[in-house]
Every structure is written in structure tokens, then in C-alpha cells.
Structure 1
Amino acid sequence: MADLKHRILMVSDFFYPNFGGVESHIYYLSQCLLKLGHKVVVMTHAYGNRSGVRYMTGGLKVYYVPWRSFLMQNTLPTFYGTLPIIRTILIREKISLVHGHQAFSTLCHEALMHARTMGYKVVFTDHSLYGFADVGSIHMNKVLQFTLADVTRAICVSHTSKENTVLRSGLPPEKVFVIPNAVDTAMFKPAQERLGHNEIVIVVISRLVYRKGADLLVEVIPEVCRLYPNVLPDDMIVLAEPDPSDMVQAIKKAISIVPEIDPLVMHDRMKRLYNWNDVAKRTEIVYNRALKCSDQSLLERLSRYLSCGAWAGKLFCLVMIIDFLLWRLLELWQPAKDIEEVPDVVLPRDQDGENIEGFR
């Protein structure tokens, strides 16, 4: 049996069977980390009848905790209600590091808070860009500032995302790493026969929500269709007048170079540049650096929360002090030695790193 390098708990409200970018990111990253010899466990909330412990491909263990979502797949914020079950999972699985995903996830924020209280190293990945002016963004940015005040390391999926996260949270830039998302090139391949030069297909892959820029499509599509009357026939679409010229010019440029692109060569480049194995290896480096960070006392940690604002800082400190006291009470009520640890199981793999058939 090979030695396990890290024991990682991935936490987010967003995971399969729900579909989305965060869900896919956690799944593929976990699978590649398993191939690298790490132990990976996922924690999310229950989805319908899917509750309890489940196993996925590659032996990926998932805890569907009995919390129900109340808004956009997010669990109801409880602050301290999740502490007992998170503590139990951390001890049972002998976790060494907690990795939370997505600023919108309530479960992620609470898990990182409890993990830091218990002395675990934590890593946070921010998957989206947020504004600064509307009420929702202001509220979310303050929550993020609270969570990241004591985070060990953070990961963003682009340099723009890093700038956005640093500005919103006040996190030191040297703590933030940029690791781009990967592309599953096995699922998307170029067509065997190219379209004619008179036929152009533009594909947009995104959630149709405002923060993803879906509103811009409504304005960009009419202008592009006017410039290139061959994307859809007139009798199949009704369009409004356009406005954002910059995006139109960018699409014009993209269309002008389409004849010069060899899809197979482009696909091969994408396969090398954006693959999940590379993402996992770069994430592994972040884990290594996080685990080398020195442990800090409660007072040292509280000083960082106190710097989050005149009133907010004091409130954050109060929240963490109560969390610490509740954790100590749990230690007295149910000592860690009384919680049964699960044995580590490393699935046997062939020379290519794949699971040996028949072993489940």
C-alpha cells in the first residue's frame, strides 16, 4: 500500500448531482489528486434522497450531510450548527487540510471557520468575479473578508480573479495563487469535417446569469448577426438594436482568423495547456506550502479578525471566540479518542495510474 501524501477534505454546497463549473472542478481535481496518491474526501449537503456516505469513481468518498438547501443550492447559515459533524468528519478521516470552494457556499465558509478553530490548515478557491457596489456584493465581500482573514492559502482561476479577490477581501497577494481551470478535451473534439467558409457557429458556454455577462449577449448578438448575416436565418430570430462595440470588434477579429486555424492543432494545444493533471500538480504545491506554515495562537488569529473593521472586526472576534469555546466543550463531551477513525484505503492502480478493473 502506497503512503498517502495529504488527506484533503473538499467542502462546498455545490457538488454532484448538481451540475455546474464548481461541481466539475471539485470532481476532476479530486480524481487527479487521488491518482497522485492523496486521500480526498468531499463534503456537501444532501441532494434529495442522496444523503449519507457515497462512493464515486476512483474511490472518491462523499459525505452528503443531512442539511437541506434553502436558496440556490446553499444551506441555511447556522454559524455553529455544522461544527459537530465537521469535527467528526475531520477526525474520522484523519484530515490534514481542508479545501473550500466558492464564495457563495455557506457550508464552505463554516467549514473553513471550524477547521481553523481546530488548528487545521485551510485553502480556499474563488471561482467567480464579484462587484463592489450592489447590496449583495457588499454583503458577500464582508463575509469573504471574514473567511479569508485566517485562511492559510487561496487559489483563483485567473489573474483578474486574483485582483478581484484581493481587493474584495484584503488578503495579502502573496497568499493567493493563480491556477486556471482545465478543459476536458476528451469530451469536446473538433469535427472531422470543417464547416464551409460561409457557415459560422459561435458557441457560448456559461450559466445564463447576470454576473456571467449573459446580459451582454442580448446586445452583442444583434450586431454580430447584422455584420455576418449567415450565424442564424432572419426568420428564426427577432433581435433588438446593439450597443457594446468592443465585444463586437473582438468577435469580428475572431471570425476573421477562423479560416487560418487548424482545429486539430488547436485542440492538441488546449489538451497540453489546460488539463486536470496539471491543475492537480499545481494545487499540490499550494497544499505543500500551506502545510509548512507555522501554527498560530488564538490571540494571533484574533488580531487579524480585529483588523477587518471598527465594528466588523470586533464582531468577527466574538464569533471566533464562541466557536473556540464550543469546540472545547465538544472536546470534553466527546473526546477525539472516542471517535472511531476509518482505515485508509488506497485503490490499486495500473502503470498508467488508472483503477485496476474489478476493484471497487
Structure 2
Amino acid sequence: MVIKSRGNMTEPNNEKTSNLRILMVTDYYLPQMGGGTRYVHEVSKRLAKRGHEVHILTPKWENQSKNEEIINGIKVFRHNVTDLPILRYWTQIFNVRRYFKRLVQNVSYDLIVFYQFTSALGIVLDRKALNDAKTVWTFFGPPHKEMNLELSNTPFPCQYFVLEWLYKKIFLKVEIAFAKKSTQFELGMCDKVVVLSSYAKKELMELIPGLSESRICLIPAGVDIGQFGPANVSKIKTRQQLGLPEDRLILLTVRRLVPRMGLENLIRSIPFISIEHKNILLVIGGRGFLKDRLQKLVAGLEIRHYVVFAGFIPDPKLPIFYQAADLFVLPTLALEGFGFPPLEAMACGTPALVTPVGASPEIMKKFDPQMITKGTDPQEIADSINAFIRDRNRTALSSSRCRNFVINNYSWDKAVSQLEKEYVELCGRREE
């Protein structure tokens, strides 16, 4: 869309054209990494390359000093926020609203895309500030369910028992109920809702039973097939780069170390696997508050020889870990809204095994139903890994077939083309 200036205000003119001015409102952005961050970054940079003007509005978390910066040609605005659990959501809602009102005094957006309820609420409450902008919510999954699973088990950052009790018994329950009601309200206010999987759509319809199908758009996410690809050196060389043994059969998982990721069950599966396959090695990448507990579990099971904690794996090294592995395992217990790691591993030519949770089965059954475990318990995970090891040379699991599956079904160019079409059509309707 051609942008004309009127004093300090820039606004879209009435001429029909496909270029848009888009504001992405998200709780997390670079340099923080995670599935949500990766999604926003990949979509925004590709939309910018297609001629759209994309801005990001996000909190300024710890160790982030700049309120404004440009990343890959995208202008990023950061508002202040506190890390204190009791106050984080409330200050975020207030601060994002205040920053947004300042922003729209100088910029008129065609489209505003939301990703989480906290940042969204501060803006949708003020319909006047939105002007004529269309709104889209990209729904990764139900936030109240994730909060209940994760925050209930997260250590409280304070040694006072009374404060921890008050938070977990009162404030957390209020936050979870607030998250559910806020999400329902905000989704109801948005013009369009994008979901990444049929599973996410099911969760959405459960959250808002009366939501019209015409307002829902299912567009799977993608994988950067340039960043994630087969190694141009041997597997031995990739392992040497990482300091991993050359002669072991390596199982890899990359997860946040939190309960719903299923890492305890994966670790408990190792004794069942090592009975038959003595040369396995499980490499766990990621960080989180469960690390000490997981390490104690490994020690208690006397399987230190079979498990390595690699810690946080920075993005540039992630493809090398995928390339070095023989099998990637996603042992999720709950709420897998899409799941980037299995597809990233497959783009690198490494087969992936997933539990039948969330969106994982609908993705993997198109590739090979045998790469879905029967359940999430340790024995079921072990059975599937043992079956893979016994038959891992079959053609269906070849490196080229893994990569081609991702290229043909989950490229970012395909995903962003579909998103762009939806965005342009949505904004075009108000010009008719």
C-alpha cells in the first residue's frame, strides 16, 4: 500500500495496492528464541522482503537495553516490563497500551497481528486507537492451559513461603482465569484468526464454541530450508565439531526443560532401550528449571553413560546438532501447537519420532505413521525407538525423503504466501 504523509501522521491512501503497513504485537522477539519468536521473525522478515512495511512491538525483557532498533530491516519497538511473577502481566498490559497509543500518533497501520493475550489486551481495549486497522490473531494454543501446566510447577523466585503460597493458591488462579477470559474476549474482537494446525483449531473452537468458520484460517508454519539442511561433511565430522562420540547411535531432543515437554519420560525410556542397544546416547539440548531434577533422575537410574546435557543450543549450532544425530525425539506430554524441531531435524536429513500429542501426529502421519509412538509413557517411547533402530536403514527414512517432505509441505515461502494473501484480502475489503 502506498503511504502518504500528512504532517507527522503517515496514512494509507485510498489507492488499491497490495503493500501493507503491518504491526506485529508479540510477547517475545529476538534475541530471545523459541517457537513463537521463530514464527514471528520468519513471517515478518519474509513479508518485509515482499515489500510490506513491518514493525514489531514487544516487551523489553532483561538484558535488552534498546527501546528501538532495526533487525533484518524490521523496526522493533520495545516497551518496559517487570519480571516479577505477580506483576508481569498487569504491567505488560498497561505498558503496551501506552506505547501503542504513542506509536499510532505518528503511524497508521493497515493491519495489526497479535500472538499472545497479554500484549493484545492492552490494545484491543482501545478500539479508537486502532483507527481503521484490521486485526488478526495468530493462535498457537490456549494460553490458560499452558499457564496452568507450566507456572503451577515453576519455582517461585522468593524464599518466603507465605508469598509463594499466596501466589500459587490465589494470584496464579486469578491469572489463569483472567488469561482465559481475556483470550476469549480478544479473539472475539479480531477480524481473523490464523491457526497452525487442526489441533490448534480444535482448541480454538473449544475456547470459543460460537466462532464462525469464516473467520478461521488454517496455515501451517514452515522451516527455513536454507538454514536447516544436510551437512556438506560426514556425520563423523559434524560430531567432531560438537565433541560428540563418533561411534554412538545418537538420539537428540531440543526442548525447554519444563514438565510438559516430557523429558522425564524420555530419560526413563533409556534403560529399556539400552538393554537391546548398548551404544545409544541421548543428547538433551535446552535450559529450564527442571535441569537439576533431570540430572538427579539420570544419576538415580544409573544411566550417566547414556545421557548428555548439552545446555542451551544457540541458533547457528542447531543445524549441526540435527545433522549429527541419528534420530530426533519429541516426547511432548501436552499442548504441542505445531512443533518446529522435528521438521527442522528432517530438513537436515534426520528422521524424527514424536508422541501422539497436539499437532505432532497430524504432521508426522503424512510422512510415516510408524514415527509416532503409541503413547507418552517410557515403555511406549522405548518400543518405538527400539523399532526405529532395528529398521533405521529402510528407504522410507532416508535423508533425502526426510528433507523433501519438509520442502514440499512446510516451506516458509509457501506459508507466507498464504498469509500474505489472507492479509491483503482482509485489508482490501475495507477499501471496497
Please state which band the TM-score falls in when normalised by the shorter chain.
0.5 to 0.7
- In structure 2, the residue matched to 1:269 is 405
Task: Give the drift of 1:62.
Answer: 0.6
Please show how residues 325-340 of structure 1 align to structure 2 within 5 Å. none
- In structure 1, the residue matched to 2:414 is 278
Please show how residues 46-65 of structure 1 align to structure 2 within 5 Å. 46-47=60-61, 48-57=63-72, 59-65=73-79
Gap change, CA 1:143 and 1:63, over 3 Å in 2: same
1:109 paired with 2:121, answer yes
Distance 1:137 1:225 in 2: 41
Gap change, CA 1:188 and 1:141, over 3 Å in 2: same
Q: Does 267-276 or 250-259 show the bigger shift? A: 250-259
Task: Give the drift of 1:85.
Answer: 2.5
Greater RCO (Cα-Cα under 8 Å, separation 6 or more): 1
Deviations 1:230-265 (A, max 9, x none): 223955148xxx944443444344445531232134
Indicate the SS of the match to 1:98.
Answer: strand
Distance 1:185 1:13 in 2: 26
Indicate the SS of the match to 1:149.
Answer: helix
- In structure 2, the residue matched to 1:201 is 250
1:123 paired with 2:123, answer no
Task: Give the drift of 1:186.
Answer: 2.5
Gap change, CA 1:216 and 1:174, over 3 Å in 2: farther
Q: Which runs of 5+ in 1 are unaligned?
A: 296-360
Distance 2:95 2:78 in 1: 16
Gap change, CA 1:172 and 1:211, over 3 Å in 2: farther
Indicate the SS of the match to 1:259.
Answer: coil
CA contact (8 A) 1:14 1:73 kept: no
- In structure 2, the residue matched to 1:141 is 180
- In structure 2, the residue matched to 1:183 is 223
Distance 2:107 2:390 in 1: 54
Deviations 1:250-304 (A, max 9, x none): 4344445531232134224323422222221111122134335679xxxxxxxxx
- In structure 2, the residue matched to 1:15 is 29
Gap change, CA 1:138 and 1:49, over 3 Å in 2: closer
Percent identity between matched residues is 21
Q: Which amino acid aligns with 1:180?
A: P
Q: Does 210-219 or 159-168 show the bigger shift? A: 210-219
Distance 1:159 1:116 in 2: 34
Task: Give the drift of 1:20.
Answer: 1.3
Distance 1:55 1:72 in 2: 31
Q: Which runs of 5+ in 2 are unaligned?
A: 3-16, 150-172, 237-246, 283-302, 308-375
Task: Give the drift of 1:69.
Answer: 4.1
Q: Which amino acid aligns with 1:127?
A: F
Distance 1:226 1:72 in 2: 47
Q: How many residues align?
A: 290
Q: Which has the higher strand share?
A: 2
> Which of 217, 220, 223 matches 2:272?
223
Indicate the SS of the match to 1:76.
Answer: helix
Distance 1:97 1:43 in 2: 13
Please, what TM-score do these two structures have when normalized by structure 1? 0.68
CA contact (8 A) 2:79 2:95 kept: no
Task: Give the drift of 1:151.
Answer: 1.4
Distance 1:64 1:83 in 2: 12
Distance 2:408 2:36 in 1: 22
Q: Which amino acid aligns with 2:31?
A: P
Indicate the SS of the match to 1:203.
Answer: strand
1:167 paired with 2:206, answer yes
Indicate the SS of the match to 2:280.
Answer: coil
